Structure 1
Amino acid sequence: MLPKFSIIIPVKPGGEVRALAGLAKATYPDDLFEVLVAYGCQPSVQRNTAAREARGEILYFLDDDSGVAPEFLDRAAGHYQEENVAAVGGPSLTPATDSPLQRAIGIAFASAVGGGGVRNRYRKVGSARYSSDNELILCNLSFRREIFLAHEGLDERLYPNEENELMDRLQREGHQLVHDPELAVQRSQRRTYRAYLRQMYGYGRGRGEQTLIAGTLKPITLAPSLFLLYALVVPLLGVPLLNLPLLAYALIVLLASLQGSLTGKDAALFPRLLLVYPTLHLVYGAGVIRGLLRPRYRGGKQTHWDVEVSRVKPFGEAVQPGGDAVQRSTFNVNGNPPILGRHPGGV
């Protein structure tokens, strides 16, 4: 028997839900999936609130600009035939129509030099497999609703990295996570360099905060931070030999940028990659340090969030054009203070 899906999309108030265009073409039976749009200012709170209102057996989280393939629900449903599977997701790919800067960011994320152990979140490679949070990303990720709610959903102190914290808990309990490259969505990268800076700092800060909450430190988490400290201190020491690792790093970035521009078949990518790679490492490292030393969830007063959940597609009906709500509910939720003032898919 095919499972029922509840697709949940968090959006800032008044935001456009571009993901609906792809959902309108879904091949999954109309009576087996619904779409809920959660408007608000704290994505973790929005997702959790909508999850409690959902009526499907599987919660599928997308971002407001996640472009899905028509058969994505059919494919995800197949993986949930295994009872030990708690979560299923796929990568987020950068559209070929993005600007050179956006494509450079996507290439960096999908590379060993930039994305490292999490690069499969941003590239389509291999076949469906049991995996971990290293390959799964919340703009394209589903959970069994029963398990999600039993674990109290996403930790609302975190944004980003809230899904990583939950998946860590699930795996420690023996649940299986599945990464399926064929579930890929199309999502544009940040449009400006300034937005990219904020993104990398936020990613790093979220990782630092997640590390504190989890109580375990993965050595790789500190690598960008240690490199940042090295890059700041070594020039002050006046010892030429200590500059060799920095020169080696510059050579690696140069070669990776050249390879990325050749792979992308666009010379305009080269100078942008020369900027994107160091930004990814150094700014992310700065964010990790800030998250470890001054987590945002400590000392903050609890906030009341207004979350509006709009059911833009009930079971058995078509997706409403423009995201018009068939049913709308408003909730006042106790949560944590604002984090970055940003939303999924925004710039």
Structure 2
Amino acid sequence: MGVSLEATTEKLTQASQTGYYGKCVRISVIIPVRPGDTAAKALSALRAVEYPPEYLEILLAEGTNPSRQRNVAAAQAAGEIVYFLDNDSEADIDLFRFVARSFADPNVAVVGGPSEILGSDSLLQKCFGYVLGSFFAVANVRCRYKAVGRWPQRAGEQKLILCNLGVRAEVFRKEGGLDERIYPNEENEMLNRLDAKGYALVYNPRAVVRRPHRTSLGRFVHQMFRYGRGRIHQFRLHPKFVNPVYFMPIGLLMYLVSLVAAVALGTPREVLRWYLVPLWVYLFASALSTARIVLDEEDWRPAMFAPMLILAVHLSYAVGMIAGLLHDPWTAREKVGAQSGGEATVRVLKRLGVGWE
């Protein structure tokens, strides 16, 4: 099953440089929705993509457990590729052309791209996206929110996001799909599992969707909290995929708490001066990251929000991880199965072999 990194990367780069879009593959697009949701924005964008419609199947999976919804829909999909979008994922016009190009290499099992900012987002929403696209804020996870690099590249779970992700249907079914006990972070576990088995995972920065970011600071902080908690839940269920890097925000939180305690306890100024060095380093790195955002976006306004938002990302993620460490939600749930409300109803909105109605 193992595929050399060099061989796959060379094939992907050659295809990109020659402008080859790849042989059209049959793609089953799967969109999980809550009961009553129509996924109107996602469907409207799909109608505009430049890809032969007879090679597209559209499935709407209705329910309250996204992992189960995706699994049930994937079991019914007729395409060679199952491609996961969210109900608000607006596919770029060239999305599937670039996806097909990456899947032209038969060794590639997974292809995904970034979920970028919507032009209609408010300034605050755009700042959420800018920060999530910052290396200092989220390291390589930034690739999920910003196109990084020019050509397709081998990737791990850090660079791939479930709202813009394609998997060979045969591989998805053979390897058990998504773990229905995990939400969010369910794709991280699956991608780690596939990567560990030697499947080639590819990040294509030109395979783009656009989604709106959270509409308020409170919702953004809660999103990061849930990501941190979900990461711990993933590690609890699959400890072999534990990565110490994800625990760094907890180290920052512990440092800041100890710093406040040191000041409150009247630590001598000479000692406190050295204790402040990590804080100054952090603030300097945050300032550099903010400057990079301002230069990249050619807009000074993100400077008003970015430093605060970077800190919010780190601390809310850390608190979420601590919450996950203190409480294991799966023990009780596993007695009655995976997440409650797990029924999924799949509707085929468009079949393969026909055009748009």
Q: Answer yes or no: is 1:192 the counterpart of 2:225.
A: no
Q: Deviations 1:227-279 (Å, cap 9, x if unpaired)?
A: 11221122112331323212332333234334423433334322221321111
Q: TM-score, normalised to structure 1's length?
A: 0.87
Q: Which amino acid aligns with 2:227?
A: Y
Q: Answer yes or no: is 1:305 the counterpart of 2:328.
A: no
Q: Which runs of 4+ in 1 moved over 4 A?
A: none
Q: Answer yes or no: is 1:88 the counterpart of 2:111.
A: yes
Is the contact between residue 54 and residue 355 of structure 2 (CA under 8 Å) also seen in structure 1? no
Change in Cα spacing, 1:223 to 1:40, as seen in structure 2 (3 Å) is same
Aligned to 1:101: 124
Aligned to 1:156: 180
Q: Which runs of 5+ in 2 are unaligned?
A: 1-22
Aligned to 2:11: none
Aligned to 2:168: 144
- Pairing 1:220-299 to 2, within 5 Å after superposition: 220-238=245-263, 239=267, 240=272, 241-299=274-332
Aligned to 1:325: none
Q: Answer yes or no: is 1:5 the counterpart of 2:27.
A: yes
Aligned to 1:64: 87
Q: Deviations 1:271-297 (Å, cap 9, x if unpaired)?
A: 221321111000001111222332322
Aligned-residue CA RMSD in angstroms? Answer: 1.8
For the residues of structure 2 that align with 1:29 and 1:261, how far apart are their CA atoms? 39
For the residues of structure 2 that align with 1:273 and 1:14, how far apart are their CA atoms? 36
Aligned with 2:153 (options 126, 129, 153): 129
For the residues of structure 2 that align with 1:57 and 1:135, how far apart are their CA atoms? 23
Q: TM-score, normalised to structure 2's length?
A: 0.84
Moved more, 23-32 or 101-110: 23-32
Q: CA deviation at 1:195?
A: 1.0
Q: Which amino acid aligns with 1:212?
A: R
Aligned with 1:177 (options 201, 207, 211): 201
Q: CA deviation at 1:90?
A: 0.7
Aligned to 1:336: none
For the residues of structure 2 that align with 1:235 and 1:318, how far apart are their CA atoms? 63
Aligned to 2:48: 25
Identical-pair percentage: 35
Is the contact between residue 65 and residue 341 of structure 2 (CA under 8 Å) also seen in structure 1? no
Moved more, 77-86 or 185-194: 77-86
Change in Cα spacing, 1:255 to 1:81, as seen in structure 2 (3 Å) is closer
Is the contact between residue 68 and residue 184 of structure 1 (CA under 8 Å) also seen in structure 2? yes
Q: Which amino acid aligns with 1:224?
A: P
Say how many residue pairs are matched.
Answer: 320
Q: Which runs of 5+ in 1 are unaligned?
A: 321-347
Q: Deviations 1:298-332 (Å, cap 9, x if unpaired)?
A: 22243342322121111233456xxxxxxxxxxxx
Q: CA deviation at 1:16?
A: 4.2
